[in-house]
Amino acid sequence: MSFSSPQRQPLSRTDLDPDPIAQFAGWFKTAGEVVPLPEAMTLATVDGEGRPDARMVLLKGFGPDGFRFFTNYEGVKAGQLDESGEAALVFFWPPLDRQVRVRGAVHRLDAAASDEYFASRDRASQIGAWASPQSRPLPDERESLESLAAEATERFGDGDVPRPPHWGGFVIEPRSIEFWQGRGARLHDRFRYERRPDGSWAVTRLAP
């Protein structure tokens, strides 16, 4: 994948919205105009022994409650999230030379929110959620996975596909959000929002 040259723009304190979610919304909208998949983000977790892990997932919504994504609750990342209750996210948009980092507590979305999103997915993705034993070894190259998908397709026929009980959403409630704007000579602009006890946000400029 090729990108155009970075469109570097200065970032000053006066450019920042007092609300980091609003600030993210503006950057996310701009990224959507130049980046093929602006919702792609790195999700970082730790296992029960404190060893780090990371993978790419897709952002499926954000707001005052935090940043939302969906997955198989029986997979490795869900187990790590449930156990630690903490996670971090990284967004990187190369054409803009921008990065956003999020850290905070994480918990499962309620069933109604997961049902609503699952109903909006295309049928093939719904079938895939039933078919994939996420993160578990397969006894063959692919045949067993395709067999499970065929079984799920036959099971639901032409009817609606309900959300599997082992599939749903998580939300990361940000404790800190950092906005990084690349600049020349590696003198980048970095600002970190940190949530105060009263729910407001403190903003600090960081050295690059």
Q: Would you say 108 and 78 are in contact if contact means Cβ atoms under 8 Å apart?
A: no
Does residue 3 have a pLDDT over 50? Answer: no
CA angle 10, 96, 177 (to 5 degrees): 75
Say whether pLDDT at 136 is over 80.
no
Mean pLDDT of the chain: 92
List the domains of the chain with CATH numbers: 13-121+165-206 (2.30.110.10)
Spatial CA neighbour of 55 closest among 72, 43, 66: 43
What six digits make up the tokens of 112?
């109604």
pLDDT at res. 152? 84
Task: Tell me the percentage of the chain whose pLDDT exceeds 70.
Answer: 96
**Mean per-residue pLDDT, 120-131:** 91
Pick the range with the lowest mean pLDDT from 18-22, 49-53, 158-162, 175-179.
158-162
Q: Are the C-beta atoms of 70 and 91 separated by less than 8 Å? A: no
- Note the pTM of the prediction, 2 decimals: 0.89
Backbone angles phi, psi at 151, to 5 degrees: -65, -40
Q: Which pLDDT score, from 0 to 100, does residue 181 have?
A: 97
Average pLDDT over residues 97-111: 98
Given this model, what pLDDT does residue 31 score?
A: 97
Report the pLDDT averaged over residues 45-68. 96
Report the Cα–Cα distance between both ends of the chain, in Å, rounded: 27
- The average pLDDT across 142-158 equals 84
Q: Given this model, what pLDDT does residue 1 score?
A: 39
